Chain A
Amino acid sequence: MAYSEKVIDHYENPRNVGKLDDKSEKVGTGMVGAPACGDVMRLQIQVSDEGVIEDARFKTYGCGSAIASSSLATEWMKGKTLEEAADIKNTDIAEELALPPVKIHCSVLAEDAIKAAIDDYRTKHDESAA
């Protein structure tokens, strides 16, 4: 299958690969997996006191489209507030990367990872507030 140029670019030069300290109060971690292809994705955000995403990191074991989707997601999330980041849709990712229909689930995975990371961050803070 032919990958789009943008997918290849993200695949060859993935942005923000790595790990943040998931114990930190400022960090939210999202872990998701796609049974269809066996891909696993970890997406993490570091959030400032003002609720802005200062840093985002990912590690994805999967196909080029899954890696590109998560790489793009971290790029888009940086500098956004949690609310803004929560608005990122899988369709936006799929469109930007020109994913073919059989690879749409990779962008779904990335959206779910974003939501999971934000949820994790919020859960941490609800608990520490309580």
Chain B
Amino acid sequence: MSGIVVDLTKNFFELFQLPVEFQVNQALLSERYRELQKSVHPDRFAGEGERQQRIAVQYAAYVNEGLETLKSPLKRALYLLELAGHPVDLENNTVMDTVFLMEQMELREAVSEVREHQDPEAELDRLMAQVDQSVTDYQNDFAFLWQKGDEASLKQASAVVQKMQFMVKLSNELEQLESELLDD
């Protein structure tokens, strides 16, 4: 193998030569991904022995993980906080913001009743628009707080990411429901 093609000690932003920011130029990201992918494709190392091939697979996995992380606003936000030394503990952290949770309850209730609604498709559209708007709002909040960058702001950013997580999950459920409704 001709030298190290992927430096596994580089973070994903460095790897893709992108600024460490919440806003990511998606066109540039795809372009860099194609370049990186080409340089680590296992076929390139076909004649270079098992060890080199294994390394190539490892590089390719790192590049793919980088793409997944930088492509998704939620994963990107989590990753940025991790880099900044403020990892969000999703496992042990329960959210206690009552107003937010009541809104979540109501949304979940509405989602579970879509099928019984007199116009399920319109109701689904309404819920999707509402959830998408929330996700966008949280992304904007996060971008603003990340830009500020002080300790207090990063703490707040962490709370915003947690809420984003709920909404993204809900959005996935709505998409699932949509395809189920279409199948009926």
Contact = CB atoms under 8 A, between A and B. Distances in A.
Interface of A: 31-38, 40, 42, 59, 61, 105, 108-109, 112, 116
B83 interface: no
Interface of B: 88, 90-96, 98, 100-102, 104-105, 108-109, 112, 162-163, 165-166, 168-170
Contacts, number: 56
Contacts of B165: 35-36, 38
Given A36-B91, A61-B112, A116 B105 contact: no
A31 B112 contact: no
11 contacts: A35-B88, A35-B93, A35-B163, A35-B166, A38-B165, A40-B108, A42-B101, A42-B105, A59-B105, A61-B104, A112-B94
| Interface SS of chain B | helix
Nearest to B170: A38
Contacts of A116: 96
A109 B105 contact: no
Given A32-B95, A38-B166, A42-B105, 13 more contacts: A31-B96, A31-B101, A31-B105, A32-B101, A34-B95, A35-B90, A35-B95, A35-B165, A38-B169, A40-B104, A105-B92, A108-B94, A116-B96
Contacts of A108: 92, 94
A42 B106 CA distance: 11
Contacts of A61: 104-105, 108-109, 112
Contacts of A109: 94
Nearest to A22: B102
